[in-house]
A and B are shown apart, each in its own frame.
Chain A
Amino acid sequence: MNWTICTMHMVGKVMLNRRTMMGLLAGAMAAPAAAFAAISGGQAETLIGKVVGDINAIINSGAAEAKMISRFKGVFTKYADVNFIALSALGVDGRSATASQKRAFTKAFTGYIAQRYGSRFREFKGGKIEVVSTKAVKNRFEVLTMTKLKGMSPFDVVFIVAAKNGKFIDMQVEGISIVKSERKEIGAMLDKRKGDLDLLIRDLSKV
């Protein structure tokens, strides 16, 4: 039953190079947003190390589910390009959306993602993740991480990190892209509501 592992399980502990992080932070504060130089593969890897370190801390915190979900939401909004992921999930249906609909959808989608994946975290207590390698592909980096859960074979999670800003724009769990599967899921949810985006936004906000 492959699909039982087809979820966003990200856990782990990664040693961070503190100097790299400090340098990155200093750089981020000094440079005006528009003048961001493209990041290096090492920087992409360090960022993902931070992401999985944060998530590992959440999963093994023993906190209540609601608390874990809200902390996960914090990590997601900090390191991912939430706008891009949300609007990609909305796909072609989003083209006719107004700016305010897009904003409302992105906000609702972020809560939905945090709930959908964060609620699974209790299943992964005691897990461990390691950053394995980084590969440059066109204008992005693919950071390969290996997740080990108790009583299960290790599996791969690849983070797609944009070179221009160091945000991750997708995760592929054993070859399954979050962006692609949410695109399908959100598309089907919208179809069910006969294309009524406002209704979808309302329902997603309730999740």
Chain B
Amino acid sequence: MKKTTLIAIAVLTVLGACAKAPAPTGYDDPHEAQNRRTYKANIALDRALISPAADSYGQVPKPVRNSVAMFAENASLPGVVVNKLLQGQIDDAVHNTVRFLFNSTLGLLGLFDVASDIGLEERKSDFGETLHVWGMPEGDYVVLPFFGASTERDGLGILGDFMLNPLSYVLPTEVRQLPKAAWVMSKFGDRYDFADSVDSILYSDGDGYGTLQLYYLDSRRYELGQVVEDNELDDLYDAYGG
């Protein structure tokens, strides 16, 4: 038993270490027409449903909303652990597992984050990152219904994460959808708490679509530690002189 575990870990570590996704370049948008249509539909959805729902949900006291978000985050953690294992990040997997155990018990099913107070903050990941670690290129930029800005790889990642969380297989049927419901509520909470920021992007005077694309790709590439040649910015800085 012990031996098989070790071999599995070794294989995963090798997998994680060998593959290297090609560095992405630029901001090509071959599906721009379709993406802009979906973007428009998302904006309409925000206007009609998400923003008003977020405003209603925002009336719920902040500590309650925090607990809902914490519950959703905690319930998603086993899925993050699976991803960390698939990436060969054993340390992070153990760290997140201990966090999950703490918050599920002392934190009352994850409603309270007691783990962060003792240095066990979440080490985030997702299946999109796993695919990246395995060497999959980011693919084309896509705008997904509801989820918004993404890439082909990260869109696949969202699908994977829906299936990867072990918790959704072991929870009793009556409460199986609870984490997902809490997740949606937590997104309403984010929409409310960061309303000014979100509005300033989605309803900007300029090109909200283009800004969102830039934001998504730049922050995602940064998060994955991908070094992207950026001549536009380098040239600007260089021109400032020394």
The chain A residues found within 8 Å of chain B, CB to CB, are 1-7, 38, 81, 84, 88, 116, 119-120, 122-123, 138-140, 151, 153, 156, 160, 162-164, 169-170, 172-177, 179-181, 184-189, 191-192, 203
CB of B81 closer than 8 Å to a CB of A: no
If A1-B187, A120-B196, A175-B219 touch, does A184 touch B207 (CB 8 Å cutoff)?
A: yes
Question: Which of A6, A84, A120, A189 lies in contact with B219, CB distance below 8 A?
Answer: A6
A-B interface pairs (CB < 8 A), number: 123
Tell me the interface secondary structure of chain A in the complex.
Answer: mixed
Question: Which of A1, A172, A176, A180 lies in contact with B148, CB distance below 8 A?
Answer: A1
Q: Contact: B197 with A123, CB < 8 Å?
A: yes
The chain B residues found within 8 Å of chain A, CB to CB, are 66, 69, 121-122, 124, 148-149, 187, 190, 193-194, 196-198, 200-201, 204-207, 210-212, 214-216, 218-223, 230, 232-233, 236-238, 240-242
Smallest CB-CB separation from B220: which chain A residue?
A2
Query: What's the nearest-Cβ distance from chain B to residue A176, in Å?
Result: 5
Give Cα A87–Cα B159 distance, bound, in whole angstroms: 43
Question: Which of A153, A174, A185 lies in contact with B222, CB distance below 8 A?
Answer: A174
Interface centre among A122, A164, A175, A191 (most CB of B within 10 A): A175
Q: Contact: A176 with B210, CB < 8 Å?
A: no
Q: Contact: A184 with B242, CB < 8 Å?
A: no
Give Cα A164–Cα B210 distance, bound, in whole angstroms: 33
Q: Contact: B198 with A160, CB < 8 Å?
A: no
Residues of B within 8 A of A1 (CB): 148, 187, 190
Give Cα A4–Cα B66 distance, bound, in whole angstroms: 16
Q: Contact: A181 with B124, CB < 8 Å?
A: no
If A7-B197, A184-B211, A184-B214 touch, does A139 touch B221 (CB 8 Å cutoff)?
A: no
Question: Which of A4, A169, A177 lies in contact with B198, CB distance below 8 A?
Answer: A4
Query: What's the nearest-Cβ distance from chain B to residue A140, in Å?
Result: 6
Give Cα A139–Cα B237 distance, bound, in whole angstroms: 8
What are 16 residue pairs bridging A and B, where the CB atoms are less than 8 Å apart in the complex?
A: A3-B149, A4-B190, A4-B198, A122-B196, A139-B241, A153-B122, A156-B222, A169-B240, A172-B222, A176-B214, A177-B233, A180-B232, A180-B233, A181-B215, A191-B207, A203-B205
Q: Contact: B237 with A192, CB < 8 Å?
A: no
